[in-house]
Structure 1
Amino acid sequence: MLVAAIDFGTTYSGWAFSFKHEYDTDPTKIGSRQWYGGQMVSLKAPTTVLIKPDARTFDSFGYEAETKYSELASDDNNEHKRWYYFRRFKMMLHGKMGLDRNIDVEDETQKPLPAKTVFSLVIRYMKDDMLKNIKDRLSCGHITEDEIAWVLTVPAIWTDAAKQFMREAAVEVDLTNMYIFEQL
């Protein structure tokens, strides 16, 4: 019934979807999110995530994460040093992903977190954000997971281990009926 794509980019990320019945009549009819950053409106947001000091709880993504972290950092109390702020972290996996799936990525202040935690939190956010938008467009307001074909982008230059890592991070947040699309 629906194809939903998450473009987890190195610098910018976004999502889009298309209902089959709309695609059949007009293949250019695609739903996507508009991201706002100051005076700018874009179809993608910076691949930036802010994670709470407990190292497990997602706080914000994209422009919102940048703004909140900037506000935290502007306070004199150094509160921002307790938070985890990741920017352009996707390519940290390139060339580092071997047989060990328990690799860490470091945030902007070199604090490590398990890469799977960081990637899964972002994928979950993108998925939930898109599902909310989809449900708002449906007259019945309901769609089941088995009616969605998910597409997740990965760089074609990545190793099979890195691609498998992304698949596992997506499965961890219940992204079923998933296809990996290799970007050139």
Structure 2
Amino acid sequence: MPVEINFIEKKENKYASSLFVVSMFILMMILVASIVFIQRQDLTTKIETNKEKLAQWETELLQLQADTADEQLLEKIEQEMSIVQQEAFPVYPLYRQNINQLTKKDRLLAYKITDQSEAILIGEFTTLSAVANYAEKLAEQQYIIDIELTEINKDSDSHFEAVVTVQLDSALVIEELNEYAQSTN
């Protein structure tokens, strides 16, 4: 049996260390690329979530702005209404006060404000003294400047129809009767 003896020197693999370094570099690059890919996916998901939140917040902000604008508009309208009420000629309170001056048997047939300084009242009264009492009660009001009994007619029911023209101080009417209207509310 032949024995084989190898006298050739065994050579070390001169590429082994280079191959190891290159393979480690490739492994590190794969690891870094994987981490970057995973981070990219995570950040993309977070960006999409934040965009949805931002869109939701923008919608809520627009709704809040609309609500705030509505509230501000309502406040502005209320302020303007208050100003108008303070400066407006108080027709209804003036009418109520004129009605309150009548006795139970007498009644107001017509009521007309020709301008802010004159009112024409037509009433039906039981007696002439009732007409005089009504005119006297009207004259006691501070906002009435002058009262003129324009016309008196006797109708078929033995009642007197009187037309009374009243000169008003507009500023006092507005001041006093707005206070009267607010106190009765």
The TM-score with structure 2 as length reference comes to 0.23
Whose RCO is larger (CA < 8 A, sep 6+)?
A: 1
Q: Report the structure, 1 or 2, having the larger helix content.
A: 2
